[in-house]
Amino acid sequence: RPDDAFAIEAAARYVSLIPFLADSDLFPQLNDIWCTDQEFLNFQCGDWEEHAILLCNYFNYIDSYRKEYVLGYSTSIVKSYCVKCDGLPEGEIWMVMRRDCVTGHCEFWHAVRGECFFVPCWSPPTFMDRLCPHRASRDPTAPSLPSTAESSSALATDGGTATAPAAAGSPSSTKLQATPFSPVQRVHVVFDSDNVWANLQRGGSREGTAV
């Protein structure tokens, strides 16, 4: 049910239950093949791209349905993309990036494992922030976060506003916190139904290329 509060998590759970099988094992005579969603469901197995594309389509359907029919989501603009990236520990894999187009906050979903990794979008510090590093922490307009989170999905919980778990009363509770560990080390390609984007930056140190 796309109107369910946990529809995103349910879709991720469902896709993760479909067995993983590499193309070379499924089609020994072919090096690589991309199946449609229906073919993937008919075969009842697939590899990285099949899991990612199916989950991405589920996410886009759920978010578009919520925006049109579910109270509280009318102002949200959430879109999902398939992302080819270097991940730990698998290496080169496909994941799903679910992005709040209003705030820029993102979720990276591991389609095979059904796991979510939240990456907030932070604006670069202003001159005054650099001049007085503690100024931002005293900003009364800084967003406050709930002390607990029932859902692993942090995007568009109410009118497109992202939320993430934070300890009540902690200094960090005024800022969105990224998932402590993200397996995404470098993004290579991002695509949706309309466009394709490629990362042409040269790979540097791990610190420079990590998400």
Q: Tokens 């993102």 sit at which residue?
A: 106
Q: Which amino acid is at 127?
A: F
The pLDDT of 58-85, averaged and rounded, is: 95
Q: How confident is the model at residue 134 (pLDDT cuts 50, 70, 90)?
A: low
Alpha carbon distance 116, 97 (integer Å): 10
Question: Are 199 and 186 within 8 A, CB to CB?
Answer: yes
Alpha carbon distance 58, 60 (integer Å): 6
Does the pLDDT at position 90 exceed 60?
yes
Q: How confident is the model at residue 199 (pLDDT cuts 50, 70, 90)?
A: very high
Does the pLDDT at position 210 exceed 60?
no
Percentage of the residues of the chain whose pLDDT score is greater than 90: 60
